[in-house]
Amino acid sequence: MVMEPGSVRPFNEDEALIATFALWAEKDNSDDILIHMTGDNVHFKHITICNNPDSKKYHKLLYRDLKNLLKAHNKWPFGDE
């Protein structure tokens, strides 16, 4: 099965689904680290999670887990940040 952002298939006898998303990290102009997540641009468009606790985009646990996922697959360009 080809994995592309937005690909979906049943999971656990149709009680759930497996969906693929694209993830990447970058710094913005204020040096905050942003983690982007995008899907098929129809049912799941694009969200951004930020490492800045003062930002509306901040979500501590989701940021931590997405960062760990990117790091585990050598896609985290910021060392130990």
pLDDT tens for the chain, 81 residues long, are: 678 888 888 888 878 998 999 999 999 999 999 999 999 888 889 999 999 999 999 999 999 999 999 999 999 999 887
- Backbone region of residue 38 per phi and psi (left: phi > 0; alpha: psi in -120 to 50; beta: other values): beta
Other CB atoms within 10 Å distance of the CB of residue 74: 7
Q: Tokens in use for 67?
A: 């960062």
pTM of the model: 0.86
